[in-house]
Structures are given as C-alpha cells and as structure tokens.
Amino acid sequence: MAEAPLAAGIIAGQIYDRDASKKEEGCSLEIDSEEVQLPPVRRRRPVKRDYSIKEEMERQRIAEERRMQAASIYLKLQKARSTAIRGTQPISISKFEDFDFLAKYCIFSQEKLAEYKRAFEAVDSDEDGYLDCLEVLMALKEIVPPGALSDAEELYIYRILEIVDYYVTDGLTDLRLFAVMASLAQKIAALDSFMRSLIDHMDFKTLELKMYKAKQLFLCNIDSENKISVPQLLVELKAGGISREHEEAIQTELHHIKRLDILDFLTYLPLFVLIHKSVISNPLDDSRAI
C-alpha cells in the first residue's frame, strides 16, 4: 500500500512542476511584452505655413508696377512741358497758400486730409514735408487703385492745374497741393463713362483759352460757402445760350451733386467746355446736341 502514496506524491509533484513552469512562462511573457511596449503616440501640432515671403514678393511686384506707371506718366508730363512756350524753370517749392485761387476755394475735411497725409508720408522718405514730381506720381497710386485711371485721366489732373500756374514737374509739392490732386483723382475715378471719354479726348490748348471764362463762371456764381449750386449754374449756362438738350445733359451728369466746390467744377469742366464749344460753333441752332 506504500506504493499508492508514493505514486500520488509523484503525480502531485508533476502537477506542481507543470503549474510552476506555466507561471514562469507567463511571467516571462509579461516581462517580454513590457520590454517591447511602444511609447504613446503624440499628436502633432498643425503646421503653420509662412506666407510672409510670398506676401512680400507680391508687395514688391505691385510697388515695381506702380513705379513703372509713374515713370511713364512722368515722361509724358516732361514731353508736354518741353513743347509748352516756357523757358527752363528753376527748381522751386510749391506751397498751397501760394496759389490764391486754389487756397481760397479748396476746403478739405479732416478725414480726407488725414487719408491724403498717410499716402504723402508713405512716399516722403526724407520726411521734409515735400515731394518731388516722381514722388507725387507714386503717392497718387496710394490714393486710387491700380487701373482706376487711364493715363489720359491722370494727365488731366496735372494739366488742369497748370492753368492756375501750378506745374508738378517744376519743383517740390507740399501736402495740401498733393491733396488737391488726390481729391481730383478720386472724383475722376468715380465719373461715368461719358464724362471719362470727354477727359480722354480733352484738348488742353482749347481749355487754356477758355479757362479765364470758366473761372469767371465759377467766381460770379458761388455762394457764401464758396460753392455753386446746380440750379444757379444752369441759369448762368442758359443765359449763355445752351439748348434744352444741353441742360438735360448737365442735369443728368450732376444729379448726385447739389452744389459744386472748385474741385467738382474742375472735374466737370470738360463738359462745360464741350457745351460752350457747341454753342459758339452754331449759336442759332436750338436743336444742337452733345
């Protein structure tokens, strides 16, 4: 009977050894799994693209395009100046108060003047408070968007002021004279296609001959605020012999303006010149049209 306990002991020992072996194997597997465990995956932050270089290149492209446009206008102004009957003029400083006609009748709001001042100072690299001709042309590009004015329309701005003896090519320009040009540029850019076509085909020699009468038309009809009402302008023009068609044309073009200041008057001057030319060429024909 002693063999039975011995056999039982052997079997129990084998079972213990087998369980122990399994535990050891399990333990070793757990250790192995810990050794090969990967680190936690970190979320990557979104990559921010740097557009500053691209934006800077675009700014440089626009600036170069504006410089080329300004240089083109400058050459045309120089050419027009060389054909005028004027001797070589010394470089001078043009101040707003030196031009009585402009200084007395050009009034700017503080908001508009601040807008023009920002464009002026952006180009005034030496900060002396004056711009030369090319700098004026560049500063004007800050006021009106690229392509807003044709070359003829931009030239009109400078040429119309020659009639009051201001020549942008002759010297340095102060802030308020620049403001006159900037305001004219904005007014012309807002004109309809008919008025802009008149400016594109403006004959400045004809305009020079009529400028004295145009100034008298304005000065003789202004009110206490140095403006001329559209009804009063029409009364004066009708007294000069304009037709009903001309009167309607003026009312159509000026329907959004109650009173004209000097810059409005200069903006629409090609229309008045055209009407006057039509009246002079055929004064007895009441059916004439523009």
pLDDT in tens, the chain (290 residues): 555 554 444 444 554 455 555 445 444 444 454 555 666 666 666 666 667 788 888 778 777 887 888 888 888 888 877 655 455 555 577 888 888 878 888 888 899 999 999 999 999 988 999 999 999 999 998 899 878 999 999 999 998 888 778 889 888 999 999 999 999 999 999 999 999 999 998 888 777 777 778 888 888 889 999 999 999 988 888 877 778 888 888 888 998 888 999 999 999 988 888 876 655 444 434 444 44
Per-residue model confidence (pLDDT) at position 129: 93
Sign of the C-alpha dihedral, residues 204, 208, 210, 215? positive
List CB contacts of 149: < 8 A, sequence separation 6 or more: 185, 188, 189
CA distance 142 to 18: 92
Confirm if 134 and 74 have CB atoms less than 8 A apart. Answer: yes
Delimit the domains of the chain by residue range: 68-190, 202-281
CA distance 262 to 100: 12
Cα-to-chain-centroid distance, residue 284:
46
Confirm if 173 and 94 have CB atoms less than 8 A apart. Answer: yes
Write the DSSP symbol of residue 170: S
